[in-house]
Amino acid sequence: MKEFFKILGVIGVAGVFGLLFALMVLAAAAESREWEKFKAEHSCRVTGKMDGDMNVGYGVSTSGNVVTTINTTPDKTGWTCDDGVTYWK
């Protein structure tokens, strides 16, 4: 019986993570649709491009260990719209 509850717990945790992942994918898709609609309604045009970057840092953690961090930023496109604002996406 103990093994059953262990398996049930694993399935429950996997289900929660699966649900959270699905919600994140749906939210990203909704945001993309909203941007496409806004872009069409406000006559947005490409006015710039920015390459992504990768930064490497070194330091010491709070426990005293030496750590290496790697941070990345994605490529971005600048869109100027008829409201006079430039949006970077």
Q: What is the tens place of the pLDDT at every residue in 1-47?
A: 778 777 878 888 888 999 999 999 999 999 999 999 999 999 999 99
Q: What is the model's pLDDT at position 59?
A: 95
Whole-structure pTM value: 0.63
Residues 28, 21: Cα–Cα separation, whole Å: 11
Q: Is 16 helix (H, G, I), strand (E, B) or coil?
A: helix
The set of residues, in sequence order, having a beta carbon less than 8 Å from that of 89 and lying 6+ positions away, is 35, 76, 77, 79
- pLDDT digit string (tens) for 40-80? 999 999 999 999 999 999 999 999 999 999 999 999 999 99
- 61 membership: H or E segment, kind and range: none
Residues 4, 1: Cα–Cα separation, whole Å: 5
Query: Domain locations in the chain?
Result: 1-41, 44-89
